[in-house]
Amino acid sequence: MGHLLADGCNLAAAILSAGASYYWYGASTVKPPPEVLLGLMGWGTRAEPTKPNVSVDTRPLVQFVNHSSTANKTAAIWSAFAALAWAVSGIAAFFN
């Protein structure tokens, strides 16, 4: 019975690890919006810090950071469950 539990946990850990790698890959391929690199008007149009009334639209950057952090959080959760499954597998194999 202990070997069955250990093998089941090993299988679960392998599946969770594959899911985690899928989400880590997705998190690593999040692309920043072009406005972050170019500004809204193209090259050379960055706001000058000496002008007091210049405003910069940060919504694209905030959306990018939120999407990136959500993808990283999802991947980390999958990785944590994979590690937990490996730990349970090791404990089950130890006590068998």
Q: How far apart are CA 80 and CA 51, in angstroms?
A: 48
Q: Count other Cβ atoms within 10 Å, centred on residue 72.
A: 16
Tokens of 4: 């069955």
**For the residues 18-45, what does the mean pLDDT come to?**
73
pLDDT in tens, 60-83: 778 888 988 999 999 999 999 999
Decide if pLDDT at 48 tops 70. no
- pLDDT score for 37: 52
